[in-house]
């Protein structure tokens, strides 16, 4: 990850003050380079990020086209974006200080990235000499300290300068009485897909809901769905919820149609982007908890092999879980 250019805009919503820099940050300073790059790399991997595409005819899209064509300087692009952000955010943000870093990052492609860094209070130490020559230490409060790279940004967006594809995460805010995403809905004006985490969560919830509605515990159905999501991630960065429910409920057309209706209500009747690493991990283990308080976690693939685990129904309707071929038990 290389940060080519960057600018810092300061939004102080405690006093409704915005400061727009007329100069770029010195990204040749290794500390500044590392700080911004580490935040961008971490944000790129965030599973809460949604995806979308910026239209080149939108207000900011037009500015990006001008920037790509050399008709708009980076510092002017940054200031214009900052002014638009502040206009919307000052009507929706609590009394906080938010430093906004706008940068051009280079990795597999060139990206314009927007980092909203909510400042916080912090303490550091100070050493000073008393009048008698003795040394003393004290704690010093610092206002508006930026988040460390290990901490999550308040909001983040990246726009691929080649195809204008977008990755974005942000909290919702209220603007003019309307709850919305300020970056996505107001500033960038784009529609987004749901995040990888939300996509997988909703698919699992629908499979479980439909299975239990037809008197099943949902274990077999959920493990099948999770296994399909994981195997699909080996070859694709999208997941098709329709294909999953068709396979999970292939023996029961009524359940299959019920699941499709749930998908339609959730606007999931199409392949959706998913983080492949995350999807693979989803299919590794499944956890169940009984009404007696017993919890069991096991590899998903074991549900297809009765040599390891089997769930049976007793004559009185209760369930029995059998764990087989165990050589050793380890306490944790």
- Residue 4 pLDDT more than 80? yes
Percent of the chain exceeding pLDDT 90 equals 45
pLDDT at 42 over 80: yes
| Residue pLDDT, tens place only, 154-213 | 999 999 999 999 999 998 877 767 788 889 988 998 888 888 889 999 999 999 999 989
The pLDDT of residue 194 is 83
pLDDT at residue 93 tops 70: no
Determine which of 28-37, 103-112, 139-148 has the lowest per-residue pLDDT on average. 139-148
- Whether 305 shows a pLDDT value over 90: the answer reads no
Mean pLDDT of 24-38: 95
Residue 89 in this model has a pLDDT that exceeds 80: yes
| Over residues 61-88, mean pLDDT | 94
Provide the mean pLDDT of the chain. 89
pLDDT number for residue 207: 93
Residue 310 pLDDT greater than 90, yes or no: no
SS (H, E, C) the chain: CEEEEEEEEEEECCCCEEEECCCCCCCCCHHHHHHHHHHHHHHHCCCCCEEEECCCCCHHHHHHHHHHCCCCCHHHHHHHHHHHHHHHHCCCCCCCEEEEEEEEEECCCEEEEEEEEECEEEEEEEEEECCCCCEEEEEEEEEEECCCCCCCCCEEEEEECCCCEEEEECCCEEECCEEECHHHHHHCCCCECCCHHHHHHHHHHHHHHHHHHCCCCCHHHHHHHHHHHHHHCCCCCEECHHHHHHHHCCCCHHHHHHHHHHHHHCCCCCCEECCHHHHHHHCCEEEEECCCCCEEEEEHHHHHCCCCEEEEECCCCCEEEEECCCCCCCCC
Give residue 179's pLDDT. Answer: 80
What is the rounded average pLDDT of the residues 216-244? Answer: 89
Give whichever of 1-5, 135-139, 141-145 has the largest mean pLDDT: 1-5
Closest CA to 81 of 99, 57, 63, 107: 63
Asked if the model's pLDDT at residue 25 lies above 70, the reply is yes
């Amino acid at each position: 990850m290389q940060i080519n250019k960057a600018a810092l805009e300061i939004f102080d919503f405690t006093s409704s003050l915005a400061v727009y820099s007329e100069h770029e940050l010195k990204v040749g300073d290794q500390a500044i380079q590392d700080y911004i790059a580490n935040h961008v790399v971490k944000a790129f991997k965030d599973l809460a990020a949604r995806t979308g595409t910026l239209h080149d005819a939108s207000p900011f899209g037009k500015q990006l086209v001008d920037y790509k064509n050399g008709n708009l300087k980076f510092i002017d692009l940054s200031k214009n974006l900052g002014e638009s952000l502040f206009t919307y955010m000052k009507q929706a943000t609590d009394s906080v200080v938010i430093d906004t870093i706008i940068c051009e990052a280079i990795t597999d492609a060139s990206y314009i990235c927007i980092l909203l860094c909510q400042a916080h209070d912090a303490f550091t130490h100070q050493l000073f000499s008393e009048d008698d020559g003795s040394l003393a230490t004290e704690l010093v409060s610092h206002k508006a300290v930026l988040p460390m790279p290990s901490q999550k940004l308040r909001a983040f967006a990246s726009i691929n300068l080649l195809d204008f594809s977008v990755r974005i995460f942000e909290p919702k805010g209220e603007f003019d009485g309307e709850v919305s995403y300020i970056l996505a809905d107001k500033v960038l004006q784009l529609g987004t897909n749901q995040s990888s985490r939300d996509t997988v969560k909703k698919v699992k919830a629908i499979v479980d809901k439909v299975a239990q509605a037809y008197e099943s515990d949902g274990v077999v159905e959920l493990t099948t769905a999770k296994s399909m999501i994981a195997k699909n991630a080996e070859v694709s960065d999208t997941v098709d919820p329709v294909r999953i429910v068709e396979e999970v409920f292939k023996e029961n057309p009524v359940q299959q149609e019920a699941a499709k209706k749930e998908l339609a209500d959730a606007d999931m009747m199409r392949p959706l982007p998913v983080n492949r690493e995350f999807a693979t991990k989803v299919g590794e283990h499944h956890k169940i908890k009984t009404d007696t308080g017993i919890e069991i976690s096991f590899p998903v693939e074991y549900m297809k092999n009765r040599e390891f685990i089997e769930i049976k129904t007793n004559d009185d309707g209760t369930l029995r879980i059998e764990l087989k071929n165990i050589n050793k038990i380890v306490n944790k």
